[in-house]
Structures are given as structure tokens and as C-alpha cells.
Amino acid sequence: MCHKSNKTEKMAKLFNPVINYSDLSGIFGYQTITNKITRSTELYNVLQSLTDMAVPTKESDNLKSWQHFYMPITKIEERITVPFRISHDCNTFFINPHTNGLLKVSKGEEEAKDKTDLFKDCIRLAEMMKEQGNDIVIETVPYDIRKGRILGKHVMEQIMPRERKEELLQRYKEHQNKGLKSPDICLEDYLNTAAICYTGAFPKDTDGKTTREMYRMFADIRHGGMLDLDPTSTKAYSEWYDGDERTGSHPFEIVYSSFGHGIMLIPPKDNEDNMFDLRIIDDGLAEEYVKMVETMSGTDVAFKAPSFKHVLDYLSGDLYFYVNTGVFSLKTFQYHPSDENKEKYFRYIEWEDLEFVKWK
């Protein structure tokens, strides 16, 4: 374990916070418009004194906001600081800590000692920062709540070899250089093209299946009447496409995902290139998408895959993952400052600079 810095020791001497990091969610609750208002004139006046120390980050009509204040709290017996923002509108303060909670404060007779003491400590810390600079905060904001970015290759368990990535890109480029264009299509053409994608990504599951059976197996069930069309009529397909029947449906989501959309195969009629457009929304289907593009690249079907290089960059670890965003996705990484994680990841993370309010 690292020794405490002089700034951390100074924090321990000057502050004895009544609030623990684990208590923040209880104090601030979830961020909803129905959060109960704490009606305490004493707390309101303390917040007024705090915000009077700094220039608003944003200001319009009656709304003012200050984006980068810091509060001293305790976390496992260590004194730390965490960022929060304050807004003021309609005689009410709105306080949001980095945890995305919400505390509303207006004037009234309610007792709020713990909250008042917390923000009195914020004033004391602000006075120190105003006089001595921001170093005390820079050294006491924990790295598990600071934001940054790290290349995927440093956190992914497996990555695509660079040779494989270059091979796939070259095959796709060669196919694009053919300059293929698609004629008007019918339902049968669409299902045949989707079947090429399915057999590339799911060879075992599609063995012995018809194109229609494949579509029903993997696609979003909301086909908007597409499967009811005359399968060989380009006129029927065009009129259906231009009509309102498919509104609100997902006929082109050939691989369904519960996370937004999965993999989409947009027919040529939807773009000016006269090409099928194969795109991906759900990163969890990245490997299947690559197999589809690889298989399509070995055909004479006119198609483009605008997401292909991005997906290959992701699978090969060449994309940045965002650190400590508070939002879960396959391209985010939560850093926990244990000795093991510090050894494995810390030196690879590009940390964002902390931001601060401007003092008056």
C-alpha cells in the first residue's frame, strides 16, 4: 500500500466529516423530479454562502449552476473529496454529487444538521482551495470516481490478432473496389442476402434451414408485413417499403437484441448507393457481425459495412474504453484502486484533468 501524502494527512487533521461515502445515496437519493425537498433555511443559507464564493459555470434567466465544487467525506477511515454540482432555480437549490443523486433544498423550519454540517465543511474546503490552490483536492479525489480512458487491449481478455484484422480489412476493401450495384429487389432477394449473413455467423444453427426459417429464428419478430409479400415481386416489395405498414416495426433487424438494436441489414432502396447496408448497434454481437461481413465479402452481393473498421478496432483492442463513466457498456471500464488493479491498469489509463469552479 502507498503511504498517505502530506495533503491527505492534512485533510485528516482539518476535517472530521460526519458523512461516509456509503451514506451519499441515502442523503441524495435517486435523481428524479419527485425527490422530496429538504425545507431548511439554515441549510439553504449555507448553500447560498458556498455558491457566493464562485462564479456560476452557467447562467440564464433565473437559473444558475456551479459545476465543480468538492465535498470532504470519509471512505473506509480515509478523508477524501468528491465532486458535486449545484444549481439554483425558483428559490430552490439542486445538489448533484458524482453519484448522480439529487438533493433539493429550499427555505423552511426542517432540521437538517448532518446535511448542514456537510456543506459547512464544503465551505471550509473551498476557503482552503481559494487561498492555497487545488492540490489538496487533486490528491484526495479517489481514482475509482475519476474519469479517463484506456485502450481496450489493456483490459480485454482476448483480442483479435493484428494479422487477422488486416486480412479482413483487405478482403472487404477488395470487395468494395468491385463497384457492385444492386438492382431492385424482391422479398426473396432480401431473404437470400440475409441468409448469407446468417450462414456466415451461425453455420450450425442454419444448417438445413430455409431462408425464411433463418429469418424467423434470428430477426426481430416485428417484420411489419414484409414476410407476407409476394416473394418474387419487386413491385410489391417497393410499394410495401414506401408505404406505412412497416412503421414502428423492425423488419431489417436481422439479428434481434434487447439492447436497442442488434444487427441491421438495410435494403438498397434505403440509400443512394444501390447497396445493402450491413450495420451493427449492439457491440455484444461484434464477432457475429465480423463473420457476416467476411462471408458477404466473398460474394458478388452489393453491400457496404460502415461499422466494420470500428468493430475490428474494438475486437483488436485498438479502441479506447471510457473509465468510470457510471454507465455500463462493453466499452467502459470501472477502475477499482486495489494493489492488483494499480499494477495491471493504472499506468495505461489516461486520466482526465479535474475541473474546478472559478473563485470570485
Q: Which three cell numbers stand for residue 157?
A: 481478455
> In the structure, what pLDDT confidence band is assigned to residue 31 with cuts at 50, 70 and 90?
low
- How would you classify the pairing of strands 303-304 and 276-280? parallel
Quick: pLDDT tens for 150-177: 999 999 999 999 999 999 999 999 999 9
> In the structure, what pLDDT confidence band is assigned to residue 1 with cuts at 50, 70 and 90?
very low
- pTM for the whole thing? 0.82
Distance CA 56, CA 70 (A): 15
Quick: pLDDT tens for 75-89: 877 888 999 999 999
Q: Which three cell numbers stand for residue 259?
A: 439492447
DSSP state of 102: -
Mean local confidence (pLDDT), 208-230:
95
Quick: pLDDT tens for 258-286: 887 899 999 997 666 899 999 999 999 99
Between residues 230 and 337, which one has the greater pLDDT?
Answer: 230
pLDDT score, position 68: 94
pLDDT score, position 24: 78
Whole-number average pLDDT of the chain = 90
* 199 has pLDDT over 50: yes
> In the structure, what pLDDT confidence band is assigned to residue 3 with cuts at 50, 70 and 90?
very low
Quick: pLDDT tens for 66-75: 999 999 988 8
Between residues 2 and 65, which one has the greater pLDDT?
Answer: 65
Distance CA 291, CA 203 (A): 10
- How would you classify the pairing of strands 148-151 and 320-323? antiparallel
Quick: pLDDT tens for 310-349: 999 999 999 999 999 877 778 899 999 899 999 999 999 9
Mean local confidence (pLDDT), 36-63:
94
Between residues 203 and 22, which one has the greater pLDDT?
Answer: 203
* 98 has pLDDT over 80: no
Beta strands across the sheet bearing 253-255: 253-255, 263-266, 276-280, 303-304
* 35 has pLDDT over 80: no
5-9, 252-256, 334-338, range with greatest mean pLDDT: 252-256
C-alpha distance from residue 129 to each of 132, 138, 201, 271 (Å) = 5, 11, 57, 56
Collapsing DSSP to helix, strand or coil, 205 comes out as helix
Torsion, CA 338, CA 342, CA 345, CA 346, rounded to 10: 130
Distance CA 165, CA 299 (A): 19
Domain limits of the chain?
Answer: 6-142, 162-315
Q: What is the per-residue DSSP string for 269-324?
A: GGSTTSSEEEEE--GGGHHHHHHHHHHHTTS---EE-TTHHHHHHHHTT-SEEEES
pLDDT score, position 270: 60
Cβ proximity of 7 and 139 under 8 Å: yes
Distance CA 304, CA 282 (A): 18
Phi, psi of 174 (to 5 degrees): -60, -40
Distance CA 345, CA 146 (A): 14
pLDDT score, position 76: 79
CA 62 to chain centre: 31
